[in-house]
Amino acid sequence: MRESTVALLSTHRHPRLRYVIRELTGVTGHRFRLFTQEEQWRAAKVDYRCCYGLSRPAVPSLPANDFLSGKLPKKEDLLVKVDDGLPVFFTDPSGIPDLLSCIFFALSRYEEYGPGPRDGHGRFTAADSHAQRWGYLPRPVVAEWAERLITVITGKTSPQSPNDWSLQLTYDVDIPWAWQHRGWRGVAAGLRDLLTGHWQRARNRFFGTNTHDPYWTFEQLENLHREHGLGVLYFWLLSEGKNRHDPNTFPIPAAQRDLIRQLSQRQVCGIHPSYEASDRPPLLDQERARLEEITGKTITRSRQHFLRFRLPDTYRQLYHAGIQHDYSMGYADAIGWRAGTNRPFYWYDLDREGVTGFRVHPFGAMEVTLKQYLDLGPREAKAEILALAAATLPYGGPFTLLWHNSSFSAAYGWRGWWEMYQQLVAELLDLRSSAT
- What domain count does the chain have? 2
Q: Is the pLDDT of residue 221 over 70?
A: yes
* pTM of the complete model: 0.93
**pLDDT value of position 212:** 81
CATH number at residue 420: 3.20.20.370
What does each C-alpha distance from 13 to 10, 69, 112, 238 come to in angstroms? 7, 8, 25, 44
User: Cβ(421)–Cβ(431) under 8 Å?
Assistant: no
Q: Is the pLDDT of residue 236 over 90?
A: yes
**pLDDT value of position 432:** 83
Same domain, 243 and 105: no
Number of H helices, E strands in the chain: 14, 15
Same domain, 23 and 61: yes
Beta strands in 41-132 (DSSP E): 48-52, 61-62, 81-83, 86-88
Q: What are phi and psi of 271, to 5 degrees?
A: -90, 145
Q: Is 390 helix (H, G, I), strand (E, B) or coil?
A: helix
Same domain, 73 and 123: yes
User: Cβ(402)–Cβ(367) under 8 Å?
Assistant: yes
Asked if residue 33 belongs to a domain, the reply is yes
Asked if residue 190 belongs to a domain, the reply is no
Reported as half-sphere exposure (CB side, CA atoms, 13 A), residue 388 has a value of: 27
Same domain, 173 and 83: no
Asked if residue 199 belongs to a domain, the reply is no
Average pLDDT value for residue range 126-131: 97
CB-CB neighbours of 216 under 10 Å:
18
Q: Look at 75 and 332; give whichever has higher pLDDT.
A: 332
Bridge partner residues of 315 (DSSP): none
Give pLDDT tens digits for 338-389.
Answer: 999 999 999 999 999 999 999 999 999 999 999 999 999 999 999 999 999 9
Residues of the chain with pLDDT > 90: what percent?
A: 83
Q: Where are the alpha helices (DSSP H) in 242-392?
A: 254-264, 282-295, 313-320, 367-368, 378-392
CA dist 232 and 225 (Å) reads 8
CA dist 375 and 381 (Å) reads 9
CA dist 20 and 101 (Å) reads 8
Same domain, 109 and 170: no
Asked if residue 194 belongs to a domain, the reply is no
Same domain, 144 and 235: no
Residues of the chain with pLDDT > 70: what percent?
A: 91
Closest CA to 409 of 234, 206, 220: 220
Asked if residue 202 belongs to a domain, the reply is no
Write the secondary structure of 352-364 as one string of H (helix), E (strand) and C (coil).
CCEEEEEEECCCC
Q: Is the pLDDT of residue 194 over 50?
A: no
What does each C-alpha distance from 90 to 103, 242, 368 come to in angstroms? 10, 47, 35
Mean pLDDT of the chain: 92
Asked if residue 231 belongs to a domain, the reply is yes
CA dist 273 and 285 (Å) reads 9
Asked if residue 350 belongs to a domain, the reply is yes
Cis before 312? omega within 30: yes
Q: Look at 210 and 415; give whichever has higher pLDDT.
A: 415
Domain that holds residue 331: 166-178+213-435
- Give the DSSP letter of residue 71: -
Average pLDDT value for residue range 150-177: 87
Give pLDDT tens digits for 277-288.
Answer: 999 999 999 999
What does each C-alpha distance from 276 to 143, 313, 323, 412 come to in angstroms? 36, 15, 18, 25
Bridge partner residues of 172 (DSSP): 235, 404
Same domain, 227 and 345: yes
Same domain, 224 and 149: no
Bridge partner residues of 169 (DSSP): 401
Same domain, 314 and 372: yes
Kindly indicate the confidence band of residue 187, based on its pLDDT and cuts at 50, 70 and 90.
very low
CA dist 344 and 361 (Å) reads 4
User: Cβ(110)–Cβ(126) under 8 Å?
Assistant: no
Asked if residue 191 belongs to a domain, the reply is no
What does each C-alpha distance from 94 to 55, 91, 97, 98, 400 come to in angstroms? 15, 8, 9, 12, 38
CA dist 396 and 143 (Å) reads 9
Same domain, 361 and 303: yes
Same domain, 101 and 230: no
CA dist 261 and 271 (Å) reads 14
CA dist 14 and 231 (Å) reads 39
Same domain, 105 and 174: no
